[in-house]
Amino acid sequence: MKASELAKALGGTLEGDDVELFACGGLEEARAGDLSFCKDPKHVKLVESTKASAVLLSPQWNRGAPCAIIRVADPDRACMAAARIFAPPEPVRAPGVHPSAIVDATVKIGESVHIGAFAVIEKGVELGDGAVIEAQTFIGEGCRIGARTHIYPQVTLREGTVIGRDCIIHCGVRLGGDGYGFTTSMEGGVPRIDKIPQLGIVEVADGVEIGSNTTIDRARIGRTYIGPMTKIDNLVQVGHNVKIRGYSGLIAQSGVAGSTEIGRGCLIWAQAGISGHIKIADGVQVGPQAGVPKSLDGSVTYVLGTPAESKRDFGSRLLLPRIVEKLKSEVRELKAKLAQS
């Protein structure tokens, strides 16, 4: 898109060459063909050294730029508007069933449902109005998907999985796999390992988003439950019979072991791990890489470390080397004094 056209679209004015622009980029990372933006008038050096072909600047900016300028009243707003213009157009997933999809005759398909190429939808499945089931997805027997829920390509839902309305399930998500459960015994001096049947399901409430390649296991008995508006990032593991009450976030690569309950409004940061059979109270945050072995009752609202402790305790642990060094020299002094006396 020509800079002049973009300036017009953004309600701004172009100063300098009418360059061709293809994408947005931060001041530092931008390259030829990029439109950049300066949100903070202090970033003089970043503007001076940018490799962008054009930059969004406010009327107040009077230091020029090494590229074209698109002068706009509110660079922040204009930047978002430009991003929408440059964004790859969202693919249209029109209502209809792709002729290559294999959909069992018993499937109940709501109005305006999209089913993509090579999808497999087994018997007894129910798809709510406006649901989007993208290509190559597997939906096992008896699953129920709510209205307007969007399932991206190559998701697998094992039999009996229930998903609410307005959910987004990203590529490669696995819902309803068997939980990890075995009994171990000895039989004539030889170890014997038996699988514990995993008889429950996964149930996902309304407004949940689940990131790429995340795995959520079916319950041993009853349901593994992901409450409303829970937002789960990529590569997260949720064990069998976990209950997440809702309005919580689980950031990438975190994991929650079996039968644990997570309250409302919790935030589990990246790579954190939560043991099985415990409870995390409403509103508690578990910091990145923290490991939580015991229930958290909410008296501490942010925990860090393994085993997880309060920020304060974690902080004083970090200071130990310095404190011990000081103690060493004090003891040395005391010894010297005592030797003299």
**Residues with active-site annotation:** 240
Identify the residue among 12, 25, 128, 164 touching its own copies (CB under 8 A).
Answer: 25
User: From CA 66, how far away is CA 83, in angstroms rounded?
Assistant: 22
DSSP string across 16-66: S---B--EE--TTT--TTEEEE---TT-HHHHHH---SEEEE-TT--S--S
Provide the sign of the torsion angle of the four alpha carbons 173, 178, 183, 184, taken in this order.
negative
The one segment of 2-10, 43-51, 106-114, 212-220 that binds its own copies by CB under 8 A: 212-220
Give the nearer residue to its own copies in terms of CB position, either 164 or 207: 207
CB of 62 to its own copies, least distance (A): 26
Contact between 307 and 294 under an 8 Å Cβ cutoff? The reply is yes
Contact region with its own copies (CB under 8 A), list: 9-17, 40-48, 63-71, 188-196: 188-196
Of 136, 295, 301, 310, which lies in the binding site for its own copies, with binding defined by CB under 8 A? Answer: 136
Tell the smallest beta-carbon distance from residue 13 to its own copies (Å): 22
Q: Which is nearer to its own copies, 62 or 70 (CB)?
A: 70
Q: How many CB atoms lie within 10 A of CB 230?
A: 25
Query: Which listed residue (148, 207, 268, 296) binds its own copies by CB under 8 A?
Result: 207
Contact present, 288 and 311 (Cβ < 8 Å): no
Q: Report helix, strand or coil for 166.
A: coil
Of 7 and 250, nearer to its own copies (C-beta) is 250
Q: What are phi and psi of 85, to 5 degrees?
A: -70, -40
150-179: which residues touch its own copies (CB under 8 A)?
152-154, 156, 158-160, 168, 170-172, 174, 177-178
Which positions from 26 through 85 interact with its own copies, judged by CB under 8 A? 26, 28-29, 34, 79-80, 83-84
Decide: helix, strand or coil at residue 261: strand
Q: Which residue, among 122, 152, 148, has the nearest Cα to 135 in the 3D structure?
A: 152
Question: Minimum Å distance from CB 139 to its own copies?
Answer: 10
Least separation, in Å, of the C-beta of 299 and its own copies?
19
Task: Report if residue 310 touches its own copies, rule: CB under 8 A.
Answer: no
* 212: contact with its own copies by CB under 8 A: yes
Q: Which residues make Cβ contacts (< 8 Å) with residue 316, sequence separation at least 6?
A: none
Residues 92-111 that bind its own copies (CB under 8 A): 100, 102
Between strands 309-310 and 302-304, the pairing is: antiparallel
Concatenated DSSP letters of 62-109: -S--SSEEEE-S-HHHHHHHHHHHHSPPPPP--SEE-TT-EE-TT-EE
Binds its own copies (CB under 8 A): choice among 40, 42, 60, 324: 324
Least CB distance from residue 261 to its own copies, whole Å?
A: 8
Residues, the chain, total?
Answer: 341
Contact residue for its own copies among 15, 18, 141, 206 (CB under 8 A)? 141
Q: Which positions from 217 through 246 interact with its own copies, judged by CB under 8 A?
A: 217, 220-223, 225, 229, 231, 233-235, 237, 239, 241, 243
Binding of its own copies by 337 (CB under 8 A)? yes
